[in-house]
Structure 1
C-alpha cells in the first residue's frame, strides 16, 4: 500500500507542489515568482475610504486594487476610542475606522477576479503546532482533536506555558499538536513571541501601504501545514531547494528530514504518477468515470455546478442500480476534483435522480466521507426537492482554472461564438444600411475565412440578390486576424 507523497517541481519562475495519495494526484499548489499568493501576509495599511452603506472600508496596502475590510473583521484593538463594553456590539464602520488612519492588517483572501484582497485586523501568526493571536489571551483548540483527555491536556499545558513565558497573547492549538510533547509546544510559544515582536518593530518603522511580514514560501509552508499527515516521501527536483527544505525541516519538523530526497531523474518529476496529465484533465469540463459515466464541471461567477451522467454505463441489474452505482462513483470523483481544481464558494451537484431514500442517504454519506480528507472546510446540505445537493467549500486561493487560464479572446468567456450564418445575415443588414446612407461605387467586405467561404458558397444566391437590389458590386476579402464575429463593410 502506497502512502502520501509530495512532489516539488521548482524553477526560478514557478514552484509547483503536488500531493499524491496512493499514486493519485489529489492536490496541486503553485506559486509564481511574479504573483505570489498574499494570504497570511501582514501589511501596514491606510484606510482610503469608509463605506457606511456596506459597513466596510477600503484599505490601501500597496497593491493595484484597494483591499476590502468588513466591520466584522475589525478587532477590538482598532477600536481604542470606544469604551470596552461597546466594542463587543456590532459597531458601524464609521465609528471603528476613519479615512487616513494607519492600521495593521492581514490578508485572509487573495484578490480574486475583479475583487481586491479581503483583510482582517484579527492578526494570526502560525507556527508548526500553534497559531498566535496577539489580540486576546484565550486558548482555542482545533476541532479535529476529538479526544477530551487530549484537549484538556493541551489546554492546561498552554495555560501553564502562557504563565511561564509570561506572554499576554492567545493561541490556537493546531491539529498537528495532538500528542505533541510539552517541550515542542514551549519552543513554538517562544518562537511565535519573538516573531510577533519582530513584526511589531517592522510595522512601526514601515510606511503605510507596505508589507510587514510575508508568509513562508510555498515549499516551506507546505511542510509546516502538512505536519500530522503521514508522509512517505518528499521528492524535490532542485538541489538548492532540497537544502533549504532540509534546513527548515531540521528546525521545525525533524521527523521529516529522512524523507526529503533529491529527484535527479531524467524524466521531469511531474511525469511520475502522470501528474502533468492529471493537471491537463483538471482544466477540462468533462471528467470521465471508470464505469463509463461522466461529470461536467461549469465554473460561473456565482457558483460551480456539477452535472452527473450515466453515459455509456449500462448496469447489470436494473436502471436504479446503475444510477446508484454511478452516483456513488461520482461522489468520490467530485471530492477529489474539488481539491484538485481548488473550487470554492457555492457548489451545486446534480446527481442523477434516485427514487430510493436509502440510496440518496448512502450517496450523501459517501460524499461527506470523501470530503473529510479535504483541508478546506466544507458544508454539505441534504438533497433538495429538485434532487440537487448544495454545498460550500472555503475559498482562499484562486481556482486552478483561474490560476492557469484566462478568458478566451474570441468568445470573451461566453463559451460560444455567433455562427457564420448569423454573421452573414448581420452583414447583409449592415450593407443595406450603408448603401442607403452613403454614395459608394463599390463595397469591400472584410471578414473571417469561415464567413467568406459561406458567402461565396451556400449564400452566393443571396449575395447576388443583394447586389442587384443595391445596384453596386460587393467584393469580399478574407482577414485572417478577424474572429468569426468580426467584419467590416468599407465604402470605395
Structure 2
C-alpha cells in the first residue's frame, strides 16, 4: 500500500515522504525560512546588458542580480506582437532600466546567481499554461500513445487564447474536457491576477510565490495509486483538506489526521532510511555499499562489493551487487534530489550480457522518476554516464553546510605536515628586509611539535637571520588553522616587551558565517496560494479494460457486438430454410459443411455448369459443333451448347441424359417421359427414400441459384437458356427400351 506521510510537528521543518509499505521511495523537505524560489514570478529591472555573454542582468529584489539569457526573452517582453522576432531584434530593443516580468528557472548555487526567463509557465493540477509562448504546447512525454489520442480529442474542445500555449501534465491522463477546461480557467484567472499586480508597483518585488512543499506534493505526487494521506498536525490537515476539497474532491476521503503517540515516521520505520540520504556511504542488502562524492563538475558514485558474497563466482557476485546498486542509485537520486552529471563506476563484469542487464535494470528503476534522465551505456572502463534534471535544490543544499575546518574538502593535513609548512613560512618571513620578529599562532599540537622536535631548526634560523621567532600555542585554533604575524623594525616603539603568554589571541566570540544568527527576511508575495473560485468537477470514472480485454475487443469486437452476432446465429440455426435474399452465414469452419459450400460456390455460375456438362458430353472425335455458335454471338453473350443428336434415332438427345445423378452440387432431375411409353414405365419404378440431409441439400442448392434479375447479360442468357430447353422438349420422342433401361439404371445408381 502506498501512502503519503506529512510531518509538520516541528515548525522549523516540513517533511513529506512517499512510502510503499515500509519502503521510502521519495522524500522532500522544506524550511519555512528557506522556502523554494524556483518558479516564483518577480517584477525586475534590467541593470546591465552584456553582449559578450548574450545576456542581461536583472535586479529582481534580492542581493545577487539574476542572469537572463537573450534566448529566454520573449517578444512580448519587448512589447512586440511578432512571435517570430529574431534574437538580434530583441537585443536591439532591450534597454537598461527596462521593466520585465521574470520567473526563476534555476535557483542560486554558490557564487552563481539565479537563472531567469521571461517565458512564464503556470503549473496547474492537469495543465501547464504558457501565457506568452503560443508556439509551446503538447502532451507530457510520460503519457502512452493510446491515451495521447484521447487527450488530443479532449484538448480540441478547450477554449485556449490564441497567444498562449498549453501542455497536458501526466496527471491529466484520462481526464475529460470539462475537467481540463476547469483547470485552464483557473490558470487564466491566475495569469490575469499576475498581470494586473505587475502594474501596481515600479520597484522590483515578488508577484507570485510557488506553493509550499505540502501543496506541491499533493499537486505533483497524489495519484490514484496512493491509498492514504496521513498528516500529524491539525493545522496542516486543514490546509490539505481545504485544498483537496477545492481542487481534488475525488481524493478527499484519503486525507486522515494521525493522532497516535508513536511519531508518524517511526511508525513506518523510515527515519533510518532518511538518514542514509545524508551519509556518504549507503549500504546494500548483499553487503556491498555505494560511495557518493560531490564535486563542482559532477557527482561520482562508486560501487564496492565489500562483504558481498552473493554468487557462486566473482562474475555472478559482481552482477548481483551491480543490480542491487542500480536500484539503490535510482532511489538515492530521488531522495537527495541530485541533479547534473553523474559518473557511476560499476564493478567490472566480463560478459556483455551482464552489462546490458545492469543498464536495463537502471533504466527500469529510473522510470518512476519525475525528473528527466538520460543514461549512456557502460564503457570499456566500466563507467556509466548519466544526467538528471535538477527540479529543486538538493537535500544537501537545503540542510547541509560547508565544514569550517576542512572547507568542504573532507580531509585535513596532519600535525607534522602543518608544523613543517609553518616552519618554512617563518623562515621566508624572517628573510624579508626590516623584520624584527615573527609571531606564529598555532594549534597546541603543532606548537608542541615545533618547540620540541624542531627546536634546533628554529634556533638556526634565528642565529642566521638575526630575527626573533615566537611560537604561541592557542587552544582556540584547530588543525590545520594557524596565523603568522610579522613585526618590522619601525613598528617597534622601544617599550618593554610583554610576556609571550599575554600575546595569545583571545577566543573569537562572534558566530561563524555558517551559523544562523537571526532569521532571514522572508519575502512576502502579492499573490500566494491562489485557489480557484469553483471546485473541480467530479466525473464518473469508467473502469478501464485490462490488457487482455482490450486485445480481445480488437480481435473480435466489443462484447455488445459479440452478443449481437451470437443472437443472430441462434436465430438462423432455428430455421431450416433461410429466407430469400438473407445473407448466408459463413460455415467454412464447420467440417461437415465445407464440402457442400465448395460445391455450391463451384456451381453458382451457370457458365461453369454448362461448361462441365459440355465436357462430359463432348464426343471422342473432337466434334464441338453447337447451336448458335457464330463468332458474333460468342463475343457478345455466353455460349449455350445445344443437345447433341441421338445416334440411333437422329433426334436431339435430352440435355441431362448423360449427366450422372450422383454428381455433387446442383442436381437436376431427368426429363419427364410421355405417358404410356416404356420409358415412363421404367421411370415410374420406386426410388429409394431420401433422408432429411438430402432434402436440406436440395433446398440449399435451390437457394444457391443465381439471381438474373439485376444483370442484363444474365437476363439475355436466361431467355436463350429457356428457349433451348423448350426446343429440346418439343422435338424429343420416346427413346428405345434399351436406351430407357440404360438411363433408368443410371438414375437409380
Q: TM-score, normalised by structure 2?
A: 0.60
- Residues in 2 aligned to 1:302 and 1:488: alpha-carbon distance in whole angstroms: 32
1:198 and 2:193 correspond: yes
Q: For structure 1, which segment, 266-275 or 245-254, has the greater mean C-alpha deviation from structure 2 after superposition?
A: 266-275
Q: Does 1:230 align with 2:254?
A: no
The reply on whether 1:408 has 2:403 as its aligned counterpart is yes
The corresponding residue for 2:124 is: 127
Q: Does 1:466 align with 2:461?
A: no
* 114 and 20 in structure 1: CA distance in 2 versus 1, 3 angstrom threshold: farther
Greater relative CO, 1 or 2 (CA 8 Å, sep 6+): 1
Are 2:306 and 1:311 aligned? Answer: yes
Q: How many angstroms apart in 1 are the aligned matches of 2:120 and 2:456?
A: 73
Q: Indicate conservation of the 8 Å contact 2:4/2:19, yes or no.
A: yes
Give how far 1:83 is off.
5.4
Residues 297-336 of structure 1 aligned to structure 2 (within 5 Å): 297-336=292-331
1:54 matched to which residue of 2?
53
Whole-angstrom distance in 2 between the partners of 1:196 and 1:468:
77
Deviation at 1:75, TM superposition (A): 2.1
Determine helix, strand or coil for the equivalent of 2:167.
strand
Alignment partners' CA distance in 2, 1:415 and 1:293: 22
Structure 2: distance between partners of 1:45 and 1:469: 61
Which range moved further: 324-333 or 467-476?
A: 467-476
- Aligned-pair distance for 1:284? 1.5
Deviations 1:221-273, CA, capped at 9 Å, x for gaps? 21111243521222222101101110100111123222212222334333333
In structure 2, C-alpha distance between the alignment counterparts of 1:48 and 1:308, rounded to whole Å: 48
Whole-Å Cα distance in 1 between the matches of residues 25 and 358 of structure 2? Answer: 21
Q: CA RMSD in A?
A: 2.5
- Corresponding residue for 2:31? 32
Match of 1:398 among 393, 397, 405: 393
List alignment gaps of at least 5 residues for structure 2: 488-496, 498-749
C-alpha distance 391-356 of structure 1, shift in aligned 2 (>3 A): same
Structure 1's unaligned 5+ residue stretches are: none
CA shift digits 1:138-174 (9 cap, x unpaired): 64111212133x32232232232217xx775332111
Report the 3-state secondary structure (helix = DSSP H, G, I; strand = E; otherwise coil) of the residue aligned with 1:382.
coil
Q: Secondary structure at the match of 2:157?
A: helix
Deviation at residue 55 of structure 1 after TM alignment: 1.4
- In 2: Cα distance, 1:479 partner to 1:453 partner: 11
Q: Say how many residue pairs are matched.
A: 481
Q: 2:148 aligns with which of 131, 147, 151?
A: 151
Distance 2:469 2:209 in 1: 63
Q: Does 1:378 align with 2:367?
A: no
Q: Find the residue that maps to 2:42 and give its secondary structure.
A: strand
Distance in 2 (CA, whole Å) between partners of 1:314 and 1:275 is: 27
Q: Determine the C-alpha separation between the residues in 2 that align with 1:470 and 1:193.
A: 80
Give CA-to-partner distance per residue, 1:97-129, whole Å, 9 cap, x none.
222111111112122222111111111111111
8 Å CA contact 2:436, 2:468 repeated in 1: no
2:175 to 171, 180, 189: 180
2: distance between equivalents of 1:373 and 1:41? 26
2: CA distance, partners of 1:41 / 1:465 = 62
1:337 equivalent in alignment to 2:336 = no
Question: 97, 105, 109: which one pairs with 1:108?
Answer: 105
Q: Distance in 2 between matches of 1:84 and 1:133?
A: 13
Matched residue SS, 2:128: strand
3-state SS of the aligned residue for 1:205? coil
Alpha carbons 1:106, 1:119 under 8 Å: kept:
yes
Q: CA deviation at 1:298?
A: 0.7
**Residue 358 of structure 1: how far off its partner (Å):** 0.5
Provide the C-alpha distance between the structure 2 equivalents of 1:64 and 1:436, rounded to a whole number of angstroms: 44
Distance 1:326 1:48, change over 3 A: same
Q: 2:140 aligns with which of 135, 139, 142?
A: 142
Alignment CA distance shift 1:351-1:90 (3 Å): farther
Instruction: Please name the residue that 2:443 is paired with.
Output: 448
Task: Work out whether residues 51 and 93 of structure 1, in 8 Å CA contact, stay in contact via their aligned partners in 2.
Answer: no
Instruction: Return the offset for 1:351.
Output: 0.9
2:34 is paired with a residue of what secondary structure?
A: coil
Instruction: Give, in angstroms, the shift of residue 445 of structure 1.
Output: 4.8
Which shows bigger deviation, 50-59 or 166-175?
166-175
Asked which structure has the greater CA Rg, the reply is 2
Does the 8 Å CA contact 1:448/1:484 hold for their aligned counterparts? yes
CA contact (8 A) 1:9 1:270 kept: no
Q: Does 1:240 align with 2:235?
A: yes
Equivalent positions of 1:259-274 (< 5 A) are 259-274=254-269
Task: Tell me if structure 2 keeps the 8 A contact 1:467–1:473.
Answer: no
Structure 1 residues 179 and 444: CA distance shift in structure 2, 3 A: closer
* Preserved CA contact (<8 Å) 1:136 1:169: yes
Going from structure 1 to structure 2, the CA distance change for 1:82 and 1:200 (only over 3 Å counts) comes to closer
Q: Structure 1: how far apart are the matches of 2:66 and 2:118?
A: 12
Do the aligned residues in 1 keep the contact of 2:441 with 2:483 (CA within 8 Å)? Answer: yes
Query: How far, CA to CA, are the matches of 1:169 and 1:84 in structure 2?
Result: 11
What corresponds to 2:273 in structure 1? 278
Report SS of the residue matched to 1:53: coil
| d(CA) in 1 for partners of 2:170, 2:118 | 24
Q: How does 1:414-429 map to 2 (within 5 A)?
A: 414-429=409-424
Aligned counterparts of 1:433 and 1:398: Cα–Cα separation in 2: 45
Aligned match of 1:161: 158
The SS at the match of 2:158 is helix
SS at match of 1:54: coil
State which of 87, 95, 100 in structure 2 corresponds to 1:98: 95
